[in-house]
Amino acid sequence: MVSLGILLGGADAVRRISDWLTRFRHTDLLLEGLLAKVIVDPDDETTEFFHEQPYDPLIDAFYTAETPQDASAFVKQYLEGWYKSFEGVPWHDGHLVVTDEYSAYEGYWAFEAAAICVLYGIDDSSFRDHLVYPKDLADWAREHKVLDRLQPGQGAQALRMRCQGGQPCPQAGLWSTPAKANSQGHLSTSTTFIPTQV
* Mean pLDDT, the chain, whole residue set: 83
181 band by pLDDT with thresholds 50, 70 and 90: low
Q: Read off the CATH number of the domain in which 110 is found.
A: 1.10.3920.10
Same domain as 52, residue 90: yes
Per-residue pLDDT, 185: 67
Same domain as 109, residue 11: yes
161-186 mean pLDDT: 65
Residue 98's SS3 state is strand
**What is the spatial distance between Cα 63 and Cα 77, in angstroms, rounded to a whole number?**
15
Residue 38 has pLDDT above 80, yes or no: yes
182 occurs within a structural domain: yes
Same domain as 169, residue 146: no
Question: Per residue in 84-118, pLDDT tens?
Answer: 988 888 888 888 888 888 777 778 899 999 999 99
Same domain as 191, residue 103: no
Same domain as 124, residue 50: yes
Q: What is the DSSP letter of 129?
A: T
Same domain as 192, residue 103: no
Q: What contacts 24+ positions apart, CB below 8 Å, involve 140-148?
A: 140/7, 141/6, 141/7, 141/8, 141/9, 141/114, 142/118, 144/9, 146/6, 146/7, 146/8, 146/9, 146/118, 147/37, 147/118, 147/119, 148/172, 148/173, 148/186
142 occurs within a structural domain: yes
Same domain as 198, residue 117: no
Per-residue pLDDT, 102: 78
93 occurs within a structural domain: yes
Question: Per residue in 133-159, pLDDT tens?
Answer: 999 999 999 999 999 988 876 554 444
Same domain as 182, residue 96: no
Same domain as 108, residue 82: yes
Per-residue pLDDT, 53: 76
Same domain as 191, residue 129: no
Per-residue pLDDT, 43: 74
- What is the domain extent for residue 169? 165-198
Structural domain count of the chain: 2
